[in-house]
Chain A
Amino acid sequence: MKALLVALVVGMAIPAVAAFLLWYERRLLARLQVRHGPNRVGPQGLWQSLADIIKLLSKADTMPHTAHPWLFRLAPVMAFLPVFMAFASLPELDPHMNIGILYLSAILSLEVLAILAAGIGSHSKYALLGGLRATAQMVSYEVPLTLALLGPAMAAGSLNLATIVSHQHPLPYILTQPLGALSLFIAGMAEAHRPPFDLTEAESELVAGYHVEYSGVRFALFVVSEYAQLLFLAWLMAVVYLGGGPIWSLGLKILGTVSVVIWLRATLPRIRADQLMALGWKVLIPLTSLNLLWLVAWNL
Chain B
Amino acid sequence: MTPNREEIVQEELMLNLGPQHPSTHGVFRMVLDLQGETIVGVTPYMGYLHRGFEKLAERRTAIQYQPYPDRWDYLAAMFDEMAYIGAGEALLGIQAPRRAQVLRGIVMELNRFASHLLWLGTFLLDVGALSPFLYTFREREMVLDLLMELTGARLTYAYMRFGGVHHDAEDVWLKKVRAGIPYFRQRLSEYRTLIDDNEIFRRRVEHIGIIDGTHALHYGLSGPMLRASGVPWDLRWKRPYGIYAEIPPRIITDLAGDTYARYKVRVEEMAVSLDLLEIFLDLVESGPIMASVPKVVKFPKQETYFAVEGPRGELGVYLVGNGTAYAQRMKIRPPSLFNLQVLSQLLIGHMVSDAVAILGSIDIVLGEVDR
Q: Which A positions have Cβ atoms within 8 angstroms of B?
A: 29, 32-35, 125-126, 128-129, 132-133, 195-196, 198-199, 202-207, 265-275
Contact = CB atoms under 8 A, between A and B. Distances in A.
A273 B354 CA distance: 10
Contact of B200 (A199, A207, A271): A271
B129 A269 contact: yes
Interface residues on B, range: 20 to 34
B198 A269 contact: yes
Interface string B115-132: 000000000111111110
Contact of A272 (B21, B23, B124, B353): B353
Contact of B353 (A33, A132, A195, A205): A205
Given A125-B15, A202-B353, A269 B127 contact: yes
Main secondary structure of the interface of B (DSSP, over half): helix
A275 B201 CA distance: 12
A198 B353 CA distance: 12
A269 B353 contact: no
Given A269-B129, A270-B353, A271-B128, 19 more contacts: A29-B130, A33-B130, A33-B134, A125-B15, A129-B15, A132-B37, A196-B200, A202-B128, A204-B126, A268-B200, A269-B124, A269-B128, A269-B198, A269-B200, A269-B204, A270-B128, A272-B353, A272-B354, A275-B200
8 contacts: A204-B356, A207-B21, A270-B127, A271-B128, A272-B204, A272-B353, A273-B37, A273-B351
Contacts of B352: 129, 205-206
A266 B130 contact: yes
Q: Is the interface of A mostly helix, strand, loop or mixed?
A: helix
Interface in B7-30: 13-16, 21-23
Given A33-B130, A35-B134, A269-B201, A204 B22 contact: yes
B331 interface: no
Contacts, number: 84
Contacts of B21: 207
A34 B135 contact: yes
Given A199-B353, A204-B356, A268 B15 contact: no
A203 B127 contact: no
B51 interface: no
B207 interface: no
B138 interface: yes
B356 A205 contact: yes
A125 B13 contact: yes
B252 to A, nearest CB: 23
A261 to B, nearest CB: 14
B55 interface: no
B128 A275 contact: no
B131 A207 contact: no
Contacts of A129: 15, 37, 352
Contacts of A33: 130-131, 134-135
B250 interface: no
B351 A265 contact: no
B185 interface: no
B203 interface: yes
Interface in B326-358: 351-356
B134 A34 contact: yes
Nearest to B208: A272
Nearest to B15: A125
Contact of B129 (A128, A205, A206, A270): A270
A45 B56 CA distance: 50
Contact of B130 (A132, A207, A265): A265
A34 B354 CA distance: 28
A272 B203 CA distance: 9
B37 A204 contact: no
Contacts of A126: 15
Nearest to A33: B134
A202 to B, nearest CB: 7
